[in-house]
Chains A and B, each alone.
Chain A
Amino acid sequence: MQFQHTQLENGLTVIGEVTPTAQSAAFGFFVRTGSRDETSSVNGVSHFLEHMLFKGTEDLSSLEVNEAFDRLGAKFNAFTSEENTVYYAAVLPEYFLAAVELWCRLMRPALRTDDFDVEKKVILEEIAMYKDLPEFQVIDQARQLHFGSHPCANSVLGTEESIGNLTAEQMRDYFRRRYAPNNLVAACCGQFDFDQTCRLIERYCGSWQTMEAGRSLSYFEGTGQQCRQTKEGLNSEHICLMSPSVSMQNPRRYAASLLSLIIGDSTGSRFFWALVDPAIADTAVMQCEAMDGVGIFSSYFRCPARNRQKVLQIVQDIFRELAEKGVSEKELNAAKNKVLSAITIESERPMGRLVSLGFNWVYLKSYRSVSEDVQAVKSVTVDQINELIREYPLHKYTQVSIGPVDAS
């Protein structure tokens, strides 16, 4: 794997990790924008805009866009989070430049009002779909409650109301401010020619105007509030806990991620032995989400509604024990082995590598090779993890649960 990077005069960064023996190549535009960059009046616009990019340009209709990608046999899609919008495609090497060219064109979309009106209906269906998924709902609402007045509380999808009221002109304005070249990273992985790719990107994107696209960054510990909601027809209790963690910029994010596996991996973790193995909950997982300047430990539990208090009590006991006694060498080693094999497996596919490569640049403006990541994971010590537990107290969590109406 060989890393190369360059920056166009307008600030657009192109990064690439070339693996000549790979059987495919992957490309992505990483836009540093998401729901945390929205005001409440346009909440959901980042995600809606992501859909609109597939609707084409001044000289490409949406049907032509979909056909063009499928003609390349591309595995393509996009996703939006609180702070990133990512567009990607994985293709066979012979189609790589055509896929890059297509994405470059799409990054300057037409944003036609007619398309906007049809797509609004699709977005409203997407919001409705997630309403029927309590697992998603509870995490989304926990995020809102945890972050309170911090912009990371903004929902990615927006609400029926905010989407209903959104106008195409508001979206065009948001697009102009946020899709500036200096707010974008183009990332490539696998079997491709870096110089040729850069020339192509320069041709399509070189004339785009630089604009100030800032972001308000502040650390936030979380509100620590609690709430329970009921919903007709539900069978299980869905619980989400969130507590503060390290940001992406913090080098201790490797330790934080190992800690979350020790506590809440789907097998062999503290949650597993205390909750899943004895069948008190059928799901009990934790993950560490390191974000821009802020971070969370987020846990999700699904259990019979009658077990809700028991689950919460056991979780508090686990957190207390961790604060008092810390983690063991054995637990840390198992977590390291899980992460190391995951890194190995992921890095064998260009599409698997693309996301790590892109995010490292977006957040850290630096390249991290697979072996650097491996080294960083290997060098984490028990003391570092225990220090992290002291600094980011797990028991200071925000709690949301959604369950059936008649459960006590």
Chain B
Amino acid sequence: MLNAKSLQTHSERDKMESVEQMTLPGGLTVLVQPVSGVESASFSFLLPGGSAALPDGCCGAAAVLNDWLFRGAGPYDSRRLVEELDGIGLHRQSSVSPEYLSYGGSLESENLFRALELYADILLRPRLEEDLFEPSRQLALQELEALDDDPRQKVSVCLYERFYPDPLGRPCVGKEEDLRRLTPLQTRHLRERLFTWSGAVLAAAGKIDTHAFLKHIERLFGEVPPSRECPPVLRAAAGGYQHFPNPGAQVHIGFMTEVPPFDSPMYYSIMAACMVLGGGMSSRLFTEVREKRGLCYAVGTRYHSLRSCAGIAGYAGTAPDKAEETLSVILSEFRRLRNGISQDELLRAKTGLKSTLIMQNESTSARASRLAADWFYLKRVRPLEEIRQAIESLTIQSIQEFLDGPYGRKFTFVSFGPQPLQTLQKKE
């Protein structure tokens, strides 16, 4: 009965904070959720396209474009544009994914409309001046170079490249030879592939007057002509194992196994299984690899999904002389999970998933991101109550059904370190 009061509060809150939706003629869907008791507002654009929409030989064009877009738009030159964005205290993020580009920000709600006016200029009327292209390219090249100084992050990039069907796994940061060949004219044309308005979403959450917000967005984005996404033709993933020689103090190991994507009915079972395996401090990997054996400081797994394929990805960093043992413990835990999870593990996973859900709700930025992601992957917004019930109805059996599928039967591996991992080389 402890939960009764808070459940009631949740459903009252849900009603007050219902999501309004509008789709503009150009294809942009607008989702807005007013939040009570906050002063901030956040927004998130997800524009379908992304780095996988690029033709061969242009890897990294998305990263370059993402920087170039902010070097002047509409009536503002480069300096004025940044001054305008900074002047309203906007905390902004932009990122490149294989299937979309995203632009978002958080700020005090009274400046939200102004921020979106500026984003209408950036996304619809960027200046993309030729003489400002080179610094954008140089920054992309520098970031690519700097990735070599961070093997832990590079593991992820290389892991996705081998795991996902090409071109979905191509590194969003780019490839050196492609970046060097890119021209301003070509990049300007690629914009049409990199982000499209059909299927695009703008989500906002916070202290927002829904009606006024929708009118404002209609004025800013109502005239956008439709543009269609051309989904890439997929080629088989490389998979297998690849080692990259690296003289560091640790061996960095990345591993990934295929599981159903975000829109699967098994989604919540996957999330629960992933938590039991390597999600929290009581997870099996943390317990067996770190707590019992002291093999690693960092070890864990996460779920990573694109629209059509997904995986459970993991990372472990360890001393070269402990790498084989670490790998062997990790693989045996992946196998052991197939025998099922305990009642206590199920309960912990459920509580963890529920509390993450509610705590994310406290941040307007997490809310806006969740709305946008739901729309992008599911073409609808899951009500909180639906998610709560889906978590609540998880059973050992429903998780077992997921574990009996392709999970853990085939792995993709990458490692950075002085020597390749013997166990994996023998398998190749």
Bitwise, A317-352 to B at CB < 8 A (1) or not (0) is: 000000000000010011001111110110011110
**A38-46, A61-69, A139-147 - interface stretch:** A61-69
Distance of A122 Cα from B249 Cα, bound (Å): 14
- Known contacts A54-B281, A74-B355, A337-B86, A22 near B362 by CB under 8 Å: yes
- Contact size range, A: 35 or more
Kindly identify which residue among A122, A268, A276, A348 contacts B40, using a CB–CB cutoff of 8 Å.
A348
- In the complex, A251 has a CB within 8 A of chain B: no
- In the complex, A277 has a CB within 8 A of chain B: yes
- Known contacts A233-B246, A344-B39, A94 near B78 by CB under 8 Å: no
Residues B306-338 near A (CB distance < 8 A): 317-319
Kindly identify which residue among B246, B291, B298, B347 contacts A63, using a CB–CB cutoff of 8 Å.
B291
The reply to whether A344 and B85 form a contact with Cβ atoms under 8 Å apart is no
The reply to whether A72 and B280 form a contact with Cβ atoms under 8 Å apart is no
- Known contacts A75-B359, A125-B317, A66 near B152 by CB under 8 Å: no
Q: Which chain B residue lies CB-closest to A238?
A: B149
The reply to whether A345 and B135 form a contact with Cβ atoms under 8 Å apart is no
B392 to A: closest C-beta gap in Å:
13
The reply to whether B298 and A234 form a contact with Cβ atoms under 8 Å apart is no
Q: Which chain A residue lies CB-closest to B280?
A: A70
The reply to whether B294 and A121 form a contact with Cβ atoms under 8 Å apart is yes
Distance of A278 Cα from B317 Cα, bound (Å): 36
**B21-29, B53-61, B136-144, B182-190 - interface stretch:** B136-144
Cβ–Cβ < 8 Å partners of A267 in chain B: 82, 85-86, 92
The reply to whether B138 and A279 form a contact with Cβ atoms under 8 Å apart is yes
A240 to B: closest C-beta gap in Å:
14
Residues B121-165 near A (CB distance < 8 A): 134-136, 138-139, 142-143, 145-146, 148-152
The reply to whether B134 and A121 form a contact with Cβ atoms under 8 Å apart is no
Kindly identify which residue among B142, B294, B317, B344 contacts A129, using a CB–CB cutoff of 8 Å.
B317
A-B contact count (CB 8 A): 206
Kindly identify which residue among B38, B85, B88, B149 contacts A134, using a CB–CB cutoff of 8 Å.
B149
Cβ–Cβ < 8 Å partners of A334 in chain B: 83, 86-87, 89
The reply to whether A348 and B363 form a contact with Cβ atoms under 8 Å apart is yes
Distance of A162 Cα from B10 Cα, bound (Å): 51
Residues B221-251 near A (CB distance < 8 A): 246-250
- In the complex, A392 has a CB within 8 A of chain B: no
- In the complex, B348 has a CB within 8 A of chain A: yes
B68 to A: closest C-beta gap in Å:
12
The reply to whether A344 and B149 form a contact with Cβ atoms under 8 Å apart is no
The reply to whether B89 and A338 form a contact with Cβ atoms under 8 Å apart is yes
Residues B276-291 near A (CB distance < 8 A): 280-282, 286-287, 290-291
The reply to whether B86 and A338 form a contact with Cβ atoms under 8 Å apart is yes
Cβ–Cβ < 8 Å partners of B294 in chain A: 118-122, 125
- In the complex, A309 has a CB within 8 A of chain B: no
- In the complex, A308 has a CB within 8 A of chain B: no
Cβ–Cβ < 8 Å partners of A330 in chain B: 83
Distance of A338 Cα from B83 Cα, bound (Å): 12
- In the complex, B90 has a CB within 8 A of chain A: yes
Residues A29-82 near B (CB distance < 8 A): 54, 62-63, 66-67, 69-76
- In the complex, B95 has a CB within 8 A of chain A: no
- Chain A CB count within 10 A is highest, among B78, B286, B287, B362, for B362
The reply to whether A73 and B151 form a contact with Cβ atoms under 8 Å apart is no
- Known contacts A70-B351, A338-B89, A345-B106, A21 near B37 by CB under 8 Å: yes
Kindly identify which residue among A23, A128, A235, A276 contacts B249, using a CB–CB cutoff of 8 Å.
A128
Q: Which chain A residue lies CB-closest to B359?
A: A24
- In the complex, B74 has a CB within 8 A of chain A: no
Cβ–Cβ < 8 Å partners of B359 in chain A: 23-24, 75, 90, 92, 349, 351
The reply to whether B107 and A94 form a contact with Cβ atoms under 8 Å apart is no
- In the complex, B410 has a CB within 8 A of chain A: no
The reply to whether A303 and B142 form a contact with Cβ atoms under 8 Å apart is yes
Cβ–Cβ < 8 Å partners of A126 in chain B: 297
The reply to whether A66 and B291 form a contact with Cβ atoms under 8 Å apart is yes
Distance of A303 Cα from B142 Cα, bound (Å): 7
Q: Which chain B residue lies CB-closest to A115?
A: B291
Q: Which chain B residue lies CB-closest to A190?
A: B362
Cβ–Cβ < 8 Å partners of B87 in chain A: 333-334, 337
The reply to whether B108 and A340 form a contact with Cβ atoms under 8 Å apart is yes
The reply to whether A69 and B142 form a contact with Cβ atoms under 8 Å apart is no
Distance of A302 Cα from B142 Cα, bound (Å): 9
Cβ–Cβ < 8 Å partners of B138 in chain A: 279
Cβ–Cβ < 8 Å partners of A348 in chain B: 38-40, 362-364
Residues B59-114 near A (CB distance < 8 A): 78-79, 82-83, 85-92, 106-108, 111
- Known contacts A67-B282, A337-B86, A125 near B348 by CB under 8 Å: no
- In the complex, A220 has a CB within 8 A of chain B: no
Residues B363-408 near A (CB distance < 8 A): 363-365
Cβ–Cβ < 8 Å partners of B348 in chain A: 67, 70-71, 73
- In the complex, A135 has a CB within 8 A of chain B: yes
Distance of A118 Cα from B292 Cα, bound (Å): 7
The reply to whether B250 and A125 form a contact with Cβ atoms under 8 Å apart is yes
Cβ–Cβ < 8 Å partners of B347 in chain A: 71
- In the complex, B293 has a CB within 8 A of chain A: yes
Q: Which chain A residue lies CB-closest to B71?
A: A277
- Known contacts A71-B351, A337-B89, A341-B89, A94 near B282 by CB under 8 Å: no
Residues A81-103 near B (CB distance < 8 A): 90-95
Distance of A276 Cα from B91 Cα, bound (Å): 18
The reply to whether B142 and A125 form a contact with Cβ atoms under 8 Å apart is no
- In the complex, A393 has a CB within 8 A of chain B: no
Distance of A276 Cα from B352 Cα, bound (Å): 40
Cβ–Cβ < 8 Å partners of A281 in chain B: 142
Kindly identify which residue among B86, B145, B352 contacts A304, using a CB–CB cutoff of 8 Å.
B145
Q: Which chain A residue lies CB-closest to B279?
A: A70
- Known contacts A75-B359, A120-B294, A268 near B246 by CB under 8 Å: no
Q: Which chain B residue lies CB-closest to A91?
A: B355
The reply to whether B6 and A341 form a contact with Cβ atoms under 8 Å apart is no
Cβ–Cβ < 8 Å partners of A173 in chain B: none
Cβ–Cβ < 8 Å partners of B296 in chain A: 122, 125
Distance of A128 Cα from B319 Cα, bound (Å): 8
B64 to A: closest C-beta gap in Å:
11
Residues A392-407 near B (CB distance < 8 A): none
Distance of A283 Cα from B146 Cα, bound (Å): 10
Q: Which chain B residue lies CB-closest to A350?
A: B362
The reply to whether B318 and A125 form a contact with Cβ atoms under 8 Å apart is yes
- 21 A–B contacts from the bound complex (CB under 8 Å): A24-B358, A63-B282, A67-B344, A67-B348, A73-B354, A92-B6, A93-B6, A119-B294, A125-B297, A132-B252, A133-B152, A233-B248, A234-B149, A238-B149, A265-B86, A334-B83, A337-B87, A341-B91, A341-B107, A341-B111, A342-B91
Pairs A-B, 10 closest by C-beta atoms:
A73-B355, A121-B294, A337-B89, A279-B138, A341-B89, A73-B351, A268-B86, A66-B282, A279-B135, A282-B142
A residues lining the B interface (CB < 8 Å): 21-24, 54, 62-63, 66-67, 69-76, 90-95, 118-126, 128-129, 131-135, 232-236, 238, 265, 267-268, 272-273, 276-279, 281-283, 302-304, 330, 333-334, 337-342, 344-345, 348-351
Known: A121-B295, A302-B146, A334-B83. 9 other contacts (CB 8 A): A21-B37, A70-B281, A71-B348, A118-B293, A125-B297, A235-B149, A276-B139, A304-B142, A344-B39
